[in-house]
Amino acid sequence: MEIQDLKEGKTSIGELISIAKDVMKNAYVPYSNFKVGAALLTKSGKVYTGVNIENSSFGLTNCAERTAIFKAISEGEREFETLVVVADTEEPVSPCGACRQVMSEFGDFEVVLTNLKGDIIQTSVNQLLPYSFDKDDLKK
Ligand code: THU
């Protein structure tokens, strides 16, 4: 697959993949030893990284995708262009349901799933979570 720049001046998908691979080393995974890295490009052109952060109370584990999104939201960002996720998997790593729901809170942006071998799936939030429950559903 051809890796193309998203827009002039913005971080390319290729660069986002290498940022996500690089940050994997920071994953806190004493229980699964399964490292995941994420890189989130905002519409403002900034990149926020994320890793999975596990906990001895397993259910409190935070995935790499949500870490990146929460870091960005906490810095005042609201609009996203592309989220890249990488892990050392046979197929491109697939985000969990909780992360899909958190992504969908912030609209329909591009999501790039990959692995260390370089397999890539370019998809989107709406493709990953069709018919999602969202803020409009809270209106009477
Ligand atoms: N994990 C992620 O961080 N993102 C994914 O897309 C899949 C799963 C993490 C959670 C846990 O730390 C480990 O991978 C094994 O489930």
Domain boundaries, the chain: 13-126
Share of the chain above pLDDT 90, in %: 91
Is residue 1 scored above 80 in pLDDT? Answer: no
* CB of 103 sitting under 6 A from ligand 1: no
Task: Express each pLDDT in 12-40 by its tens digit.
Answer: 999 999 999 999 999 999 999 999 999 99
**Test site for ligand 1: of 96, 103, 128, most ligand atoms within 8 A of the Cβ:** 96
* CB of 83 sitting under 6 A from ligand 1: no
* CB of 63 sitting under 6 A from ligand 1: yes
**Ligand 1 geometric centre to CA of 95 (Å):** 8
Positions annotated as catalytic residues are 65
3 state DSSP class of 84: strand
What is the helix (H) or strand (E) element at residue 100, kind and residue range? helix 97-104
Task: Report d(CA 28, CA 36) in Å as an integer.
Answer: 9
Q: Is the pTM of this model over 0.85?
A: yes
At residue 31, the pLDDT reads 98
Residue 131: alpha-carbon gap to chain centroid = 20
Q: Is 25 exposed, middle or buried (0-12, 13-18, 19+ CB in 10 A)?
A: exposed
So what CATH class is 13-126? alpha beta
